[in-house]
Amino acid sequence: MILNPELRRNFWLELSAQRLIAMPMVLGLVFWIVGLNGGESAVSSAALIAFHLIVYFWGTRRAASAIATELNSGTWDDQRMSPIAAWPMGWGKLLGSTAYVWFGGAICISVFFGANLGTFFYSGGPPVLSLAVILVLIGLLGHGVALALSLMLLRKQQSMRRVPVSVCQIAGLIAIYGLSSFLFVEIFVTSLPSADVMQNVLWFGGSVTFWTFTLATMIGFVGWVLLAVYRLMQSELQYQIRPFAWLGFTVFLMIYGTGLLYERLLSNAVGIYMWLALPLFVAVLAFYIAFFLAPKNIVLFRKWLAAFLHQEWAPCWRLTPVWFQSFGLLWLVGAILIVMLLSQGGPVTDRAQFFGIRLHEISAFYVLAALLFVTRDLIFLLWLNLTGSKGKPDLAGAIYLLVLYSVLPPLLGFVGGTSLLPVVIPYPTDNLLWAIGPVSLQVVFLVLLCRKSWSEISPQEPVVMKRKV
């Protein structure tokens, strides 16, 4: 690992002799003052708080600014032209930019375990090694998300070539305290000190110990984040890649979430079709995230369309936008769900509920309407990108959709009751024509607008892809 030139360069920048002396002196002084007033328990809490501040807050900031620092100093283009491959460059940035952060985190976690040594070994507390690994993996998760998002936004803003560091840091903190919230609750609330956290977790009906499940969960998510950093670094270094990692991550989330809800689904006596409710929600969320974060390049879109029309499947798969993959997966899951709903022969009984929602209100018409509304949003967002929308089409689109889904439904509900809601949102109704009619007209209208805008900016004949002999 030390042979990685990018990592070695960051070590030289981050781990100077002065900084290596300053960190333990400052932390040692803080822990000594806290210990004089509160004893070992206060030192333990202070060490844990310091670990949060240094590794999670400061660390996400350092990871988010790793690329921005190179851009501001004018060295990023030189690094992109260097012989360093994508993988060494990726993890060299991830670990190198946060090297000093991890140095301070190692001191904090050592003090934390030292203050709770008796508790962990003799009072039935959580395993020391498992807890340490989980703390480290949570930090890696946040750092990786911050770095990955910075690379993603850098690709999206090709003309400006800048990284919004604060946005990337916030995303890293959300990954830490949002995605891993249940881990924090269990570890930092119920296990300090000597609480019984050895309960089992049910996943697809199988019983797994809490620590085993937590470790597996964090390893899985960190692995996906590292893959994201690697693939995005490949894109930044102009590698030709097939963008199917996002699709794999979406399927992973579907399986992971369904496994956690397995017992709840069974206990509510719902039909098998409801097993696709969570995958459908994940697919919708993945589509919107992919679309708003992905760059919109008209030239690449023309090449993709030309490859498809000329049946050049290899470049076609390589040029397929990530959001289009998510859109296809969304319709696949939705179509299967519609077939299952139609085959069950009638509404679900009123006693079957899922998170307080009466399932008899969920019908095939409702799912089809939801798919059409997503299609409408896609075409609308594409039209904004084709017309430019004053330089920030995705931001404008997000604001328009927020108004459409949050402001208009209450207004229409106040004016005409629930009868007008299918015009602006998917609404459960037994009338197929009224469920999908208004949104279908919107889709047709937006398709015509997109076609007109495309004809204005695109040549009549698509780019011809040369077939290899």
Terminus-to-terminus CA distance in the chain, angstroms?
A: 43
143 near 60, Cβ under 8 Å? yes
Instruction: Let me know whether 467 and 361 are in one domain.
Output: yes
Sign of CA dihedral 20, 22, 23, 24: positive
Q: Provide the domain limits for residue 435.
A: 296-469
Q: Compute the chain's Rg from CA coordinates.
A: 26
Q: Does the residue 204 lie in any domain?
A: no
Give me the pLDDT at residue 406, please.
87
pLDDT (tens place) for every residue of the chain, 469 residues total: 456 888 888 888 888 899 999 999 999 999 999 888 877 788 888 998 999 999 999 999 999 999 988 888 888 888 888 888 888 899 899 999 999 999 999 999 999 888 777 666 665 555 667 778 888 999 999 999 999 999 988 887 765 667 788 999 999 999 998 876 755 554 444 433 333 445 677 788 788 877 788 888 899 999 999 999 999 998 888 887 777 889 999 999 999 888 877 776 666 555 556 677 889 999 999 999 999 988 887 777 888 888 888 888 777 888 888 899 999 999 999 998 888 877 765 444 444 444 344 444 457 788 899 999 999 999 999 999 888 656 688 888 899 999 989 888 888 877 766 778 888 888 877 777 888 899 999 999 999 998 888 887 765 554 444 544 4
Give me the pLDDT at residue 249, please.
94
- Tally of structural domains, the chain: 2
Instruction: Let me know whether 302 and 184 are in one domain.
Output: no
Instruction: Let me know whether 192 and 302 are in one domain.
Output: no
Instruction: For residue 193, give the amino acid letter.
Output: P
Instruction: Let me know whether 19 and 146 are in one domain.
Output: yes
Give me the pLDDT at residue 59, please.
95
**What Cα–Cα distance (Å) separates residue 395 from each residue in 239, 293, 349, 405, 408?**
28, 11, 42, 16, 19
Instruction: Let me know whether 7 and 135 are in one domain.
Output: yes
Q: Looking at beta carbons, which pairs linking 291-296 to residues 24 or more positions away fall under 8 Å? A: 291/323, 291/326, 291/378, 291/381, 291/394, 292/394, 292/397, 292/398, 293/149, 293/152, 293/153, 293/156, 294/156, 294/321, 294/322, 294/323, 295/155, 295/156, 295/158, 296/385, 296/393, 296/394
Give me the pLDDT at residue 192, please.
37
Instruction: Let me know whether 143 and 9 are in one domain.
Output: yes
What are the start-end ranges of the E strands in 157-214? 200-203, 206-209
Q: Is-cis flag, bond preceding 347, omega within 30? A: no
Phi, psi of 464 (to 5 degrees): -85, 125
Give me the pLDDT at residue 26, please.
94
Instruction: For residue 54, give the amino acid letter.
Output: I
Q: Measured between alpha carbons, how far is 221 from 274 in angstroms, rounded to an integer?
A: 25
Sign of CA dihedral 373, 249, 171, 84: negative
**At which of 199, 232, 261 does a domain end?**
199
CA-closest candidate to residue 162, choices 151, 171, 173 = 151
**At which of 171, 199, 227 does a domain end?**
199
155 near 235, Cβ under 8 Å? yes
**At which of 164, 182, 199 does a domain end?**
199
- 163 CB neighbour count, 10 Å cutoff: 25
Q: Measured between alpha carbons, how far is 176 from 172 in angstroms, rounded to an integer?
A: 6
Q: Are strands 357-358 and 353-354 parallel, antiparallel or unpaired?
A: antiparallel
Instruction: Let me know whether 182 and 311 are in one domain.
Output: no
Q: Does the residue 468 lie in any domain?
A: yes
Q: Does the residue 234 lie in any domain?
A: no
Give me the pLDDT at residue 127, please.
66
Give me the pLDDT at residue 401, please.
92
Q: Does the residue 42 lie in any domain?
A: yes
Give me the pLDDT at residue 108, please.
93
Q: Does the residue 131 lie in any domain?
A: yes
Residue burial 441-465, b: 16+ Cβ < 10 Å; e: rest: ebbeebeebbeebbeeeeeeebeeb
Q: Does the residue 6 lie in any domain?
A: yes
Q: Measured between alpha carbons, how far is 397 from 382 in angstroms, rounded to an integer?
A: 9
Q: Does the residue 241 lie in any domain?
A: no
Q: Measured between alpha carbons, how far is 114 from 65 in angstroms, rounded to an integer?
A: 33
Q: Can you give the pTM of this predicted structure?
A: 0.83
Give me the pLDDT at residue 185, please.
53
CA-closest candidate to residue 209, choices 126, 271, 275, 129 = 126
Q: Measured between alpha carbons, how far is 286 from 461 in angstroms, rounded to an integer?
A: 33
Phi, psi of 394 (to 5 degrees): -65, -40
Instruction: Let me know whether 8 and 155 are in one domain.
Output: yes
CA-closest candidate to residue 364, choices 385, 378, 345 = 345
Q: Does the residue 213 lie in any domain?
A: no
